[in-house]
Structure 1
Amino acid sequence: MEMTGKRMRCSRCGAQLMVPPNTYTFQCPTCLTVIRVQPNNPLGQVHDSIRQTASRMKDLLYTVSSNTNTSVFSGNGYPYSWASGNSHHSQSVAPSLPFSAHGRKRAVLCGVSYYGQKYRLKGTVNDVKCMRYFLIQHLGFPSDSILVLTEEESDPCLIPTKHNIRMALHWLVQGCQSGDSLVFHYSGHGSQRLDFNMDEVDWYDEMLWPVDHQTAGKISDDDINATIVRPLPQGTKLHAIIDACHSGTILDLPFVCRMNREGYYHWKDHGIQSPIYKGTNGGLAVSISACDDHQVSVDTTALSGDTATGAMTYSFIQAVQNEPGLSYGRLLNVMSKTIHDAKKRQLLNGSIASLAKKLLFSKSSQEPQLSSSQKFDIYSTPFTL
């Protein structure tokens, strides 16, 4: 008996698809989005059962941790802090930090260059320098409230190792309260790996690469969410600006903006797929990232002449600086247009020697992405830090 495929629509572009039988992930031929296919068989029931069991086990671990005043650690040695927005889950004690928390506006800016590696990036330090200047000169962030991590820093605590980045993120949210505005900017490599705790729509976790990732490992979206998203109290605002490949849902926020067939952005609820609470403790978390989870971003000189920068960081700063008070929707559109226009200029200018590099940049798939802990009207809400 011949097995027929399953009909479904692409979650991004809405195209009608015929998915082959026994397929669990499928790439839309129209927009190239990777779609997670829910199995229509008894294995799906087993999958749901595993999800429920995992959720109950985590609740049990939190309860044990609260009652015994001990920290329950994940497999990578990181405390399961702020795992739920519910107040009955007590917060683990934050590690001792080498920095003092300053100001109602503060930021962590992290640029990883990977000196001595074949995949070295040339624009990440420039990205951080530009972002620091922009935050201080245009958005009123105090200079002593901005923590910078790059490989050019003389203080060993400010080299972007896995440990130091984690410590900096703890510093960012430590003692935050209503009225605080927090920023996490990262420029560096990103990647994906298979999702083993079943909280991802596409079955992949997103990862950031610290400078010592080969020995210490990468930083997952689950870690980032637990560290800087879930502890945010009512009235606190966090913006993550992530210039890395595969960074669309790097904060694991519940709501993701997608463009419909009419060309307008609308919110998709990714939170219903997860057995783990991924929202805040009442505050607002927003992530603006360089590209979708299945896309790559670029480090290029096409935007700023001879100086290498991340395309996303440059287009973000230019958009906000040139058009104060623009909406989130307008910000996405302007950033996207800036990147696309740069690709066209890159093909028209330069020498034949750089043709291969220009063609790689022109063909790279990069659309800035927006995700949030809460839904809001992106076309009427002004972007503010």
Structure 2
Amino acid sequence: MASYMLVNCSNCRTPLQLPAGAKAIRCALCHAVTHIAEPRNVPPSPYSNGAPPANPLQYSPSVPSAHGSKRALIVGISYKYSRYQLKGCINDAKCMKFLLMNKFQFPESSILMLTEEERDPLRLPTKQNMRMAMFWLVQGCKSGDSLVFHYSGHGSQQRDYTGEEVDGYDETLCPVDFETQGMLVDNELNATLVRPLPRGVKLHCIIDACHSGTALDLPFLCKFNSYGQFAWEDHRPRSGAWKGTSGGDAYSFSGCDDGQTSADTSALSKVTSTGAMTYCFIQAIEHGHKTYGSVLNGMRQAIRNANTSSGGIGGGGVTTLIGMLLTGGSVAGGLTQEPQLTSANLFDINMPFTL
């Protein structure tokens, strides 16, 4: 693992990862340059031993006042010019930003975009930049704040050796440089985004990726029976590890179950490629679904309708790394994916949905 240290931006106090030996670093958020007179005196990064910090907020004491009570991190990765290339993920990011600004009144200044189209190298969706951006999203949050994390890109799995996962696998997200820097594992996503949330703060995650059902490691998974009734499945680790918040609420809509894949397709929009899950989520909101349960059912029904009307969600590919590696490109054809809803706390899914 590369050696680096963690320092706070001299202007906005965002934690920045300083490569060993570097004497200055520029913040991707406020663009201020922080000079380090004696790098050896800077405390080491909490990730220097490969493990996430117990409480990321202790490294993030404040947040720029301009961000207000609503802020969002949107990540869209196309893996351009690689064998894993996807077509719809940056479209997803742009559509999600439009939805947040126009439907839920998120100020543009409170939305941080990480895509390969960004000119600032510190806003490219690398593993390091994604980590820094996730810190930014939750740092200094307080009661009444609404946070959103949207990710569209590859998702995968890796063997879990801790005994926490019932199926034996951790779920992962794949930064643009995952082949050299590794993937972001659900344990780290939970520790960074979920556990620090104080009472009164709401976090909504929209994860459009393969194997994303429990990508945030939230304790409870919503299941429906054949009569449309819902029940919560307990996914708390058998080890007793705490995967909840510090009093806040965290919800995650994801593209599919842990064992399923998600589509990158033009079959839904009929115009251009999008992630099936992101497209259906936005459509559910636009069509007036107003509760958590109806949003989830609206998404699932849209995917079923697309499969029925077109003989399968074609016109694109499956965002699975293994499938693309084996075929050398996209995987076309039908697809069955069931969007999932997980939560840090048990709640009535007929509760009004808002961001």
Say if 1:350 and 1:160 are closer, same or farther in 2 by CA, change over 3 A.
Answer: closer
Alignment partners' CA distance in 2, 1:382 and 1:129: 25
Within the alignment, does 1:244 sit opposite 2:217 as a pair? no
Say if 1:193 and 1:131 are closer, same or farther in 2 by CA, change over 3 A.
Answer: same
Say if 1:78 and 1:146 are closer, same or farther in 2 by CA, change over 3 A.
Answer: farther
Contact kept in structure 1, 2:314 and 2:333, CA below 8 Å: no
Alignment partner, residue 329 of structure 1:
293
Helix, strand or coil for the counterpart of 2:188?
helix
Alignment partner, residue 365 of structure 1:
336
Alignment partner, residue 154 of structure 2:
189
Q: Give 1:93 deviation, angstroms.
A: 1.9
Alignment partners' CA distance in 1, 2:184 and 2:313: 38
Within the alignment, does 1:93 sit opposite 2:66 as a pair? no
Helix, strand or coil for the counterpart of 2:112?
strand
Alignment partner, residue 352 of structure 2:
382
Alignment partner, residue 49 of structure 1:
none
Could you tell me which amino acid in structure 2 is paired with residue 384 of structure 1? T
Alignment partners' CA distance in 2, 1:251 and 1:152: 26
Alignment partners' CA distance in 2, 1:359 and 1:166: 30
Structure 2 counterparts to residues 171-320 of structure 1, below 5 A:
171-271=136-236, 273-320=238-285
RMSD across aligned C-alpha pairs, in angstroms? 2.7
Q: Deviations over 1:323-353 (max 9, x none)?
A: 05x21111111101111111223339999xx
Match of 2:90 among 110, 125, 131: 125
**Considering only CA atoms, is the larger Rg found in Structure 1 or Structure 2?**
1
Contact kept in structure 2, 1:288 and 1:371, CA below 8 Å: yes
Match of 1:343 among 295, 307, 330: 307
Contact kept in structure 1, 2:222 and 2:231, CA below 8 Å: yes
Could you tell me which amino acid in structure 2 is paired with residue 93 of structure 1? Y
Q: Give 1:214 deviation, angstroms.
A: 0.5
Which sections of structure 2, spanning at least 5 residues, go unmatched?
1-42, 316-328
Say if 1:361 and 1:181 are closer, same or farther in 2 by CA, change over 3 A.
Answer: farther
Alignment partners' CA distance in 2, 1:124 and 1:279: 29
TM-score by length of 2: 0.79
Contact kept in structure 2, 1:71 and 1:79, CA below 8 Å: no
TM-score by length of 1: 0.73
Contact kept in structure 2, 1:302 and 1:345, CA below 8 Å: no
Alignment partner, residue 17 of structure 2:
none
Q: Give 1:110 deviation, angstroms.
A: 0.1
Alignment partners' CA distance in 2, 1:359 and 1:152: 25
Q: Give 1:212 deviation, angstroms.
A: 0.2
Could you tell me which amino acid in structure 2 is paired with residue 375 of structure 1? L
Q: Give 1:306 deviation, angstroms.
A: 2.5
Alignment partner, residue 169 of structure 1:
134
Could you tell me which amino acid in structure 2 is paired with residue 147 of structure 1? L
Alignment partner, residue 82 of structure 1:
55
Helix, strand or coil for the counterpart of 2:300?
helix
Could you tell me which amino acid in structure 1 is paired with residue 127 of structure 2? K
Helix, strand or coil for the counterpart of 1:126?
helix
Alignment partner, residue 155 of structure 1:
120
Could you tell me which amino acid in structure 2 is paired with residue 329 of structure 1? G
Helix, strand or coil for the counterpart of 1:271?
coil
Q: Give 1:77 deviation, angstroms.
A: 3.6
Contact kept in structure 2, 1:200 and 1:274, CA below 8 Å: no
Range 313-322 or range 70-79, more displaced: 70-79
Q: Give 1:181 deviation, angstroms.
A: 0.2
Contact kept in structure 2, 1:101 and 1:174, CA below 8 Å: no
Which sections of structure 1, spanning at least 5 residues, go unmatched?
1-69, 84-90, 352-356
Alignment partners' CA distance in 2, 1:101 and 1:219: 28
Helix, strand or coil for the counterpart of 1:273?
coil
Alignment partners' CA distance in 2, 1:230 and 1:167: 16
Contact kept in structure 1, 2:306 and 2:312, CA below 8 Å: no
Alignment partners' CA distance in 2, 1:328 and 1:253: 16
Alignment partner, residue 4 of structure 2:
none
Contact kept in structure 1, 2:312 and 2:333, CA below 8 Å: no
Contact kept in structure 1, 2:164 and 2:237, CA below 8 Å: no
Q: Give 1:262 deviation, angstroms.
A: 3.4
How many corresponding residue pairs?
A: 302
Structure 2 counterparts to residues 20-59 of structure 1, below 5 A:
none
Could you tell me which amino acid in structure 1 is paired with residue 175 of structure 2? P
Q: Deviations over 1:127-172 (max 9, x none)?
A: 0000000100111000000000000100011100000001110000
Q: Sequence identity, in percent? A: 54
Q: Deviations over 1:224-260 (max 9, x none)?
A: 0000100000000000000000000000001111223
Contact kept in structure 2, 1:101 and 1:171, CA below 8 Å: no
